């Protein structure tokens, strides 16, 4: 990672590999986006998960300062700036992987990390809303989000 010049997106075990040593993520030349849930962010910062849950904004800001990364702190109310899309049905295994893939794809298309993170979170949530309209929140799976990414992106095009 330290030698990469291509933008990097870290999720799950990629973040956990730096548990308790957030500043080590600064040892890179490439732009970085991290997409932790509260437990992963807590491990990265060396704090209790409850502390992150109680003060999401403060811990996300601290992580951004310590790592030099764009931070997408996932959870019931993901906040990258303010995101109006998404629903509780998205709190299922694999949903975070879909988000990571969307952000990585946008970075690969040349978007700057803050823009890729904002657009990725928005489109991911929109795909979740479209999937919920079809399947309902309680029966959604990550594959349903993937199926709705095309329609979500298409809905953003001018008519």
- pLDDT per residue as tens, the chain (159 positions): 888 889 999 999 999 999 999 999 999 989 999 999 999 999 999 999 999 999 998 999 899 999 999 999 988 766 556 678 999 999 989 999 999 999 999 999 999 998 999 999 999 999 999 999 999 999 999 999 999 999 999 999 998
Helical H segments across 9-155, by residue range: 13-16, 38-45, 49-54, 56-67, 95-108, 113-135, 142-155
Query: Which ranges in 6-75 belong to alpha helices (H)?
Result: 13-16, 38-45, 49-54, 56-67
Structure tokens at 91: 């709190």
User: Would you kindly state where each structural domain of the chain is located, as residue ranges?
Assistant: 1-73, 87-159
Q: What is the pTM of this model?
A: 0.67
């Amino acid at each position: 990672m330290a030698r990469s010049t291509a933008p990097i997106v870290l999720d799950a075990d990629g973040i956990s590999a730096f548990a308790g040593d957030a500043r080590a993520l600064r040892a890179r030349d490439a732009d970085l986006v991290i997409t932790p849930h509260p437990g992963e962010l807590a491990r990265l910062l060396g704090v209790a998960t409850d502390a992150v849950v109680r003060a999401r904004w403060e811990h996300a800001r601290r992580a951004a300062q310590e790592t030099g990364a764009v931070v997408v702190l996932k959870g019931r109310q993901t906040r990258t700036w303010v995101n109006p899309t998404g629903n509780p049905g998205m709190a299922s295994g694999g949903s975070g992987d879909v988000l990571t893939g969307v952000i990585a794809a946008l970075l690969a298309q040349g978007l700057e990390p803050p823009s890729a993170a904002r657009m990725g979170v928005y489109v991911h949530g929109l795909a979740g809303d479209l999937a919920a309209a079809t399947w309902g929140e309680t029966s959604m799976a990550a594959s349903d989000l993937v199926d709705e990414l095309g329609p979500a992106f298409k809905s953003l095009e001018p008519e």
